[in-house]
Amino acid sequence: MQIAQISIKLSVAFVLIALTGGCNKDEINPQQAILGKWENFYSGNGEYRPPYDKPGGYWNFLTDSVLVEYDLTTNRTNTRKYWIDTLLNIGTPGGSISYYTVKFYADTMELNIENRTAINYVSKWKRVN
């Protein structure tokens, strides 16, 4: 009788875990994951390309929803606002907004541009801090 009760309790526990999705420690909070300095190492359309020899610049996502872009070829910086809902949204001072689907991996992120036609619609970035 006790074995049957234990079996039923285990079955109920398994069903509850399955229905609630369990506890997923691997979920990534994009608002936190994006923070920091990123170096672009790939721009293209998904095809294989060797990584860049030298980075052209960096993006630094700050906690106050400010994106600071560093262009190493001109030694200039640009700031823009960003926010994340279902997409990564980056607004320019002139009012246009670029929308990206963002995917995070161990120390890299992949951005896929969503709202316009682009020559290179996939960019990959590695964390540098």
pLDDT exceeds cutoff 80 at 49: no
* Cα 91 to Cα 79: distance, rounded to the nearest angstrom: 10
What is the average pLDDT value for the chain, to the nearest integer?
A: 79
Task: Supply the pLDDT for residue 25.
Answer: 54
Q: Do residues 89 and 97 lie in contact, with contact meaning Cβ atoms separated by under 8 Å?
A: yes
- 28 versus 104: the higher-pLDDT residue is 104
CB contact at 8 A, 68 and 59: yes
The string of pLDDT tens digits covering residues 55-83 is 788 999 999 999 999 998 899 999 999 99
- State the burial class of residue 119 (Cβ atoms within 10 Å of its Cβ: 0-12, 13-18, 19+): exposed
CATH superfamily membership of 30-127: Uncharacterised protein PF14869 family, DUF4488 (2.40.128.490)
**Structure confidence by residue, pLDDT tens digits, 81-107:** 999 998 999 987 777 888 999 999 989
